[in-house]
Structure 1
Amino acid sequence: MSTAAECGAVPLVSLSLTTEQDVFVLRRSGRTAAEALGAEPQDQIRLATALSELGRDLVGSCEPTVSFALVGEGDGGLRRLRFTLRWEDGPGPGEEALLAASRLVALERSGTGRSVVIEHPLGARAPSAELVARTREALRTHKGATALEDARAQTVDLIAALEESRAQREELRRLNAELEETNRGVMALYSELSEELEETNRGVVALYAELDEKSRQLREASEAKTRFWANVSHELRTPVNAVVGLARLLLEFDVERLNEEQHRQVSLISASGATLLALVDELLDVAKAESGRLEPAWGPVDLRALLGQLRGTLRGYARHGDAELVVAEPELEIVSDEVMLTRILRNLLSNSLKFTETGTVRLDVATEAGDLGEQVVFTVTDTGVGIPEEEQQQIFEEFYQVRGAHQRGRSGTGLGLPYARRLTELLGGTLTLASSPGRGTRVTVRLPVAPRRDRGTAGGPLVTVLVTVDDDDVFRTRIRPLLEQLAERIVEVDRGDRASRVVREERPDAVLLDLHMPDVDGYAVLGELAADPELSAIPVVVITSAARESLDHDRLRHARAVLDKSALSLPQLAAAFAGHGRHAAQGASGKEPRL
């Protein structure tokens, strides 16, 4: 509030205060001016009361006066009613009167101590010139009042103020009641939502418990299936060996006693027994591979000798057609398991010969340099019936066979390709397939020329420290026993935004990273690790339940492997952590394999 020169002020009236009667006139004039200029009733009473308190203390001072005026704001509008109380000498209003007035209105004392200013805003719209003129006229013709009349006027004002205060209290009580009702509704809604949330949480907990139980049942079923295969294979081996042995004895020592028909029948028994024995061996090896008990016997392998023997074994296999078998003769020695490698290639070649009526079945061998060292590449191509694209992943499931006319007269169990892939992964390699119906099939096997033997080749841990980044507590609990077979220490991280910091602190040998997380997903974590020069060399194995075609392969190029989260197995994880996962994450025509 300013008490400077009233630039643009419009005077209304000026009153002198010499007697008590003048105080009565001041009170009524203040009330009249406020009422005429549109002030609220309560504001009228407050202004009149404050003027009365201050004016009463000014009586007896030297030449006390009170001037009424309208003053403006920045745009020049007359929007404030100003009362200026002045006196030439004397004490002026007392502290008690000033304090009482300040509780009613806003006032300001001058620096000289010879004036007090009271201002009251009149609203957004300035009074019109006509209204100002009427107000000035009313104030000039205003008559004084006796003390009794003033007392009555004050009583009326007090009653009006009390009535308005009572009305405000009633309105406040009504608003409080509405607020309490609203609060009760909010609390009821909150309670309802809390109960629903608790019910949802109970359902989630029950679902997790059910998932745990289902996972346990699946593990038990898988273990039971493995035990069944192993037991059946062991039980079958003895009688089958007896059949094969007796048939060979008959063929070798009783040749003169057997006529031509008997000799042919015994030869069929021997051949069938040998086929059955090979099938039993495959079943037993599949069971061992699933349970993690099948270990490679590493040693030097002369590929020329191995493939020469394989060529001789399969020379007469193409009984269903006139397909030509062509096998390469490389001068190359690698370090691998000779028995497993022989079984891999025999299964692939026999499978191709079985479904190739005419044309060629070919095995080529080459070497190539990979990111993880030199590799040997075996490629089996045929001109047979081919495999539809929609079934090219299913054929790697045990006992699955592509149905069709080509199956007539061709026996099989559907174990050949799954068995070959499992053995390939155990040897640290990859097996991929590309095929087109009517145009043949190409199967590619990539193996290291020499295996990584610094870790894991003797059954020990593959990595010292493994950081697992996954927000799913249930999955981390389920996968932990499997990872404990591959790592000496496992550090678990349940949030993607903490992954880079933990990896920087731990400096692990490998990172197992879930692709889809709610805060920072695996794509972003992989990008952060790849962009950090100190962390970019740490191998990252990505796991996901998403369909392969929905993945952003460009953003996954820094991952060493991308594995199916729903079907993780010990050999797949071992191959990925051993350094062969990058190729394991790629399938025929750029597709990833079924895991």
Structure 2
Amino acid sequence: MSGGRHGGRNGTARELARATVCDGRDVFAVRRLGREVAELVGLEKQDRIRVASALSEIGREVLGIRAHPDARPEARAEIVFTLAFDALNITVHTGEQADLEHSEGVTLARRLVDDITIDAEHRRIVMVKRLPPGRPHLSATDIRARLARRFPVHAMDELREQNRELAATLEEVRRLNTELQETNQGVMVMYNQLNTELEETNRGVVALYAELEEKSARLREAGEARNRFWTMVSHELRTPLNSIIGLVRLLSGPGGRPLDGEQLHQVQLIGNAAETMLALVSELLDMAKAEAEGLEPEPVLVDLVTLAERLRMSLQPTGPPNGVTLETDVADEASELFVDEGMLTRILRNVLTNAVKFTPRGEIRLTARLDAAAREVVITVADTGIGIPEEHQRLVFEEFYQVPGPIQATVQGSGLGLPYALRLTRALGGTLELTSRPGEGTTVTLRVPQRIREPEVGRVLIADDDADFRAAARKILAGFAAQVDEAVDGVSALDRLIEHPPDVLLLDMLMPRLAGNALLHRMAEDPRLRDVPVVTVAGTPEQATGPHPVLIKQELRRERLLEAIHEAMRRDHAV
């Protein structure tokens, strides 16, 4: 062991000490030297022990190499300590080539230092231990001088130092073991507390479950009572109200006995009251039906231009030239919408009806456009009516709420139109919003998703002489079928079948010129047509014969029609 000269790797490291390892005594000396160097460069106590232990492991590996029968007697194992700017470098020159990458000593040493590099070509191992920031600063010259005063060291001194280190380590282990026992005791106490609390919580959950069961039973009873109530309302109120309205029309109409002005006024008041009550009952029944049965949309392809015009014609206010006009403006890209037509109609009728009620003069405008980015059709109903104060705008969608004001006192309403429209809008997957300024008007914005679905079948042929049925079926099949063709009688249907066999045939059993059974017989004789899936359409189940799925005309619904088509296609594939 000796001091060294300045310099080192890349010219930045300064040599502190070096030692030669020839036997076991040298391993003790190197271990002590490593601990002393670690102390002088500013490493903490635990890190000093780690450096010393790593040197012991590497030293034993070096002795193992020297003990090999093929080892050269003149080969020397040398250990050099150098100080870099922020690390202590320990280079072990093994003197012999050996595969130490996965040796036990190197594996253990990796856990004790920050980095180990094995250079088999140059027969050396480099260990690096980073120095802590703010360490006491000693120059390399001072460190070498102090090391020179402390060495050589006898092996018994090194063994004694190792024993002291081992005793200190055992004491630390004992302290940690005591802390662990105390922690375990605390964990057990906490576990017992949590277990007790969990048992109490479980008892509470059981009690709550029993209470919920009881309340659920009460709710079911209340639901049944409500259903009985609405059934009674439908029969006991609607019937007499319709009778009153009919009698009022008879009394005030041209066929009745002439009434004087006061009598006519009184009769009209009775009629208006009956009509208001009937409208209220109808809206209540619609709301109850929506809550009881849920709202399941049955989307079809809707011509929004036609729908808007139909609503305009039915709701166009009449009055003096300076009264109210109702205009519609539907953009071309929003003219067709795949949506439940009945629900959309009721939403727009309720919104437009409100606009008509509260717009004494000016204009009501329905517009529709496509929001391509959001893939929504945006329908707005804007009026120039009395408007709604800001503090009431959030409440108009609550059931039975009516905005207070002088004009509201003269306008009949139930406060259910907008809440029902909102419920229908949500069922369609859309949104309904209202903005308004008193004295300037109100704008209601309806957003409905532009649903684009991939067709499930290619071409469907509807063979039926009933134009209404063909139109209804075509609407239902929009989006489901890529193409829908029609035939008004059996002969036309056969011509279309031969010209271009469809993927599915909807066949009316009672068509003129060629009945359904005769057409089926012709199809069975033609190899090109015998495999076409068929859904037979009839007025009653008795009118349809054969193995094909049957669709009753009076039961035409989207769900039933698509189910029959799927069944026909499955049967065809099975055959």
The TM-score range, normalised by the shorter chain, is: 0.3 to 0.5
TM-score by length of 2: 0.41
TM-score by length of 1: 0.40
